[in-house]
Amino acid sequence: MSSFVDECNINVKAGDGGAGCVAFRREAHVAKGGPDGGDGGDGGSIWFIADRNVASLLAFRDHPHRKGESGKHGSGQDRHGRRGKDLEVAVPVGTVVLDHDTREPLADLLHHGDRWRAAKSGEGGRGNARFLSNKRRAPSFAEQGEHGEERWLRLELKLLADVAIVGFPNVGKSTLISRLSAAKPKIADYPFTTLEPNLGVVRTDDGFEMVLADIPGLIEGASDGKGLGHQFLRHVERARALLVLLDLAPYDGVSPEEQERVLLQELGNYRPDLLDRPRLVVGSRVDMAPDNDFDGTTISSVTGVGIPELLGALVRMVGAAREEEPVHETTTIHHPVSSEIELTRHDDGSWEVLGRAARRAVALSDLTDDQALEYAQHRLQQLGVNTALARAGVKPGDEVHIGAFAFEYEED
């Protein structure tokens, strides 16, 4: 079926890693025992999970921020901090995730259960026990926790309808949509008011969501292209269920029984499998024909008669249709984290070293500590940062930034 795009912006902030601890064992005959500071726990990542029971992006309109849990700090006696819990965010099946600024597609969650990591957690910092070496017998520094990833994303949903409402022109489909949902279609008292499908999201008090599509009025011969027939009918193709709306007060004398015959005939002629979809047949505009002899559910979208009963029946029908959908093999998508060293030069002449490994090398508890500074310098040299700076043409005295750490470059 054709679809409209529901879209919103969302801010995701993964949990920060906990800091490592600086601590030493207390021993009776040793002034300062060996290091026993524990590691900090990793933060929690944020995952988007496609859920067939979520019908729209409305939940993100007023509450666009999602934040993961941070890890706990390490402590003495080699006690490691607890890891932060991942946050799982349910989104509708068919949600496309884009970069907020570039609009580059990042993920397409097509099937129920598909998972995509939207923000990676920060790793916990290492405690001073992890920096023990033959040369460094009493390390007096630990590692800070890494900040969790934070960014704005764009979500776009080609919203496929749970229920396609079909009926003759002017039967009250648009009025019903506006009664049941937040949609405000333009409504007038003449045939073919609706030339494009109106869609509305219905949310019940218990949180159940479903999408209704008002399919423009069908007439006899629609399956052969009469009256924009194929353009109208194609909107029905991927709906989970059908609501057949019959006019109890037809303006041109066509009985409800004849309307039902024509509608089902046109649906079957267009795609026979449409007749296998779950469907509900309802008499509409009962307020205009109070003495009708219709045998079945009747409603009035104007007065509200029968609307609660119809809503309950739709919820049950859609819930059952969702449960019967085939199960697809789900996918889990991570985005790669680059460990490469990259350099960039700013307009003020300063340089910045990019790369996770380089930032971790200087994420220490106290870089004014001689041991910590020596370790950071050694680690950056191992990573090839000094070589990369020299090759890039960095001159002595140039300011270099790595994360929150800044220094003036000096040649070896």
Question: What is the pLDDT, as a whole number, of residue 151?
Answer: 96
- E-state strands within 239-376: 241-247, 279-284, 332-333, 342-345, 351-354
**Residue 187 buriedness (CB in 10 A; 0-12 / 13-18 / 19+):** middle
The predicted model scores a pTM of 0.64
Question: What is the pLDDT, as a whole number, of residue 213?
Answer: 82
Contact 134, 164 (CB under 8 A): no
Q: From CA 376, how far away is CA 358, in angstroms rounded?
A: 9
Question: What is the pLDDT, as a whole number, of residue 3?
Answer: 41
Q: From CA 214, how far away is CA 76, in angstroms rounded?
A: 64
Question: What is the pLDDT, as a whole number, of residue 191?
Answer: 37
Q: List the chain pLDDT tens, one digit each, 412 residues.
A: 334 447 899 999 999 999 999 999 877 665 567 899 999 999 999 999 999 888 778 889 889 999 999 999 999 999 999 999 999 999 988 888 999 999 899 998 988 899 999 999 999 999 999 998 888 888 989 999 999 999 999 998 865 688 989 888 878 888 898 888 765 544 333 333 334 557 788 888 888 888 888 876 554 544 444 443 444 566 677 688 999 999 998 767 789 999 999 889 988 888 888 899 999 999 999 998 888 889 889 999 989 999 999 999 999 999 999 888 776 666 666 555 555 788 889 888 899 998 888 888 888 878 888 888 888 888 888 888 888 888 888 888 889 999 888 888 887 6
Question: What is the pLDDT, as a whole number, of residue 172?
Answer: 84
Pair type for strands 241-247 and 163-167:
parallel
Cβ count near 175 (within 10 Å)? 18
Question: What is the pLDDT, as a whole number, of residue 228?
Answer: 39
- E-state strands within 146-304: 150-159, 163-167, 198-203, 209-214, 241-247, 279-284
Question: What is the pLDDT, as a whole number, of residue 332?
Answer: 62
Question: What is the pLDDT, as a whole number, of residue 331?
Answer: 64
Backbone CA torsion sign across 209, 210, 211, 212: negative
Domains of the chain and CATH, by start: 4-159 (2.70.210.12), 163-323 (3.40.50.300), 342-408 (3.30.300.350)
Encoded amino acid at 9, one letter = N
